[in-house]
Homo-oligomer: A and B are copies of this chain.
Amino acid sequence: MTDPLASWNDGIAKRAILDFVAQVTTPDSPSFVPPRDRIAVFDNDGTLWVEQPLYVQAFFVFDRIQQLAPQHPEWQTQEPFASVLKGDLKAALSAGEPALVELVMATHAGMTTDEFAAIAKDWLATANHPTLHRPYTELVYQPMLELLAYLQANGFKTFIVSGGGVEFMRACTEQIYGIPPEQVIGSSNKTQFELRDGKPVILRLPELYFFNDKAGKPAAIQHYIGRRPIAAFGNSDGDLQMLQWTTAGSGASLGMIVRHTDGDREFAYDQGAMGNLKDALVEAEKEGWVVVDMQRDWNRIFKFAAYS
């Protein structure tokens, strides 16, 4: 028999996964959970794929600003667009959340949902990571792909619950994770249905509808899924409340935090440009959540890398 978690080294994290799955799937176990209640939720950025030096979607925003610039001569002098066009992403980001929202809305609204899906798919098919020089769709963690497949094979329904834009993620999540669009929960724009020359379209409006982070995550889980997950996987304080909600159920549960400790094979950070891991680490200790040490627990990070 091949090991379904071959990229995981033997250790606390791998054993916690195997034990948990055995417990909830063994019919005469006191912790047995029927398949319909085997819900597992995964953060995306930094949990399933790379989030350094910036979120993948941030690079999409910056590339789109460059592409759209000829239609917006005013951006040459108008911040935060001017900094982006000069390639000074640090300056663009330092202007804070309102500036970031402005960049997102300039690139994520004003088209139909079908048009946006095509734009995002095209970009994901061609763009490369600035230092790893690979398509972003290859920068997914092989051990997490094995974990997703292992849970799915054991009757789990796996959901993404991420701060990323839901329609941006859906442009690749089925292909790279085997997770269908209806199991992807993210942040979203307001939209509007209308008839254009008799043809129905859904327009993306330049207004935030829902921001899926921190306390928003358990609220979204209840809103979209309608039952409490029994397993949750995250990597930052943005996932803290999702882990709290998941592991506060009455039966067996698994909370797991992916910690970025491997500067050679990936990136080493607790405090990143895009989200910190601090409070969730303290809570992990208290609550018995498993902390995955990427350097120690994973013998392989990406599919394309040789075993180390």
**Which A residues contact B (CB, under 8 angstroms)?**
36, 39, 113, 157, 166-167, 170, 174, 180-184, 188, 191-195, 199-200, 202, 209, 215-216, 218-219, 222-227, 241, 244-245, 248
Q: Are B182 and A202 in contact (CB under 8 A)?
A: no
Q: Are A202 and B224 in contact (CB under 8 A)?
A: no
Contacts of A248 in B (CB 8 A): 199-200
Q: Compute how far the CA of A242 lies from the CA of B221 in the bound complex, rounded to whole angstroms.
A: 24
Contacts of A224 in B (CB 8 A): 182, 224
Q: Are A167 and B200 in contact (CB under 8 A)?
A: no
Q: Are B191 and A222 in contact (CB under 8 A)?
A: yes
Known interface pairs A202-B218, A219-B202, A245-B200. Does A226 touch B166 (Cβ–Cβ under 8 Å)? yes
Q: Are B244 and A215 in contact (CB under 8 A)?
A: no
**CB-nearest residue of chain B relative to A117?**
B226
Q: Are A226 and B191 in contact (CB under 8 A)?
A: no
The one of B199, B202, B216, B227 that contacts A222, using a Cβ cutoff of 8 Å: B202
Q: Compute how far the CA of A248 lies from the CA of B226 in the bound complex, rounded to whole angstroms.
A: 30
**CB-nearest residue of chain B relative to A159?**
B182
Known interface pairs A36-B180, A200-B248. Does A193 touch B241 (Cβ–Cβ under 8 Å)? yes
Interface centre among A184, A191, A209, A216 (most CB of B within 10 A): A191
Q: Compute how far the CA of A200 lies from the CA of B182 in the bound complex, rounded to whole angstroms.
A: 26
Interface pairs (27), CB distance under 8 Å: A36-B180, A39-B182, A113-B222, A166-B223, A166-B226, A181-B225, A181-B226, A181-B227, A182-B182, A182-B183, A184-B226, A188-B223, A191-B219, A192-B215, A192-B219, A193-B215, A193-B216, A193-B218, A193-B241, A193-B245, A195-B244, A199-B248, A200-B244, A200-B245, A202-B218, A202-B222, A209-B223
Q: Compute how far the CA of A191 lies from the CA of B218 in the bound complex, rounded to whole angstroms.
A: 10
Q: Are A219 and B245 in contact (CB under 8 A)?
A: no
Q: Are A225 and B193 in contact (CB under 8 A)?
A: no
Q: Compute how far the CA of A245 lies from the CA of B248 in the bound complex, rounded to whole angstroms.
A: 40
Q: Compute how far the CA of A225 lies from the CA of B223 in the bound complex, rounded to whole angstroms.
A: 13
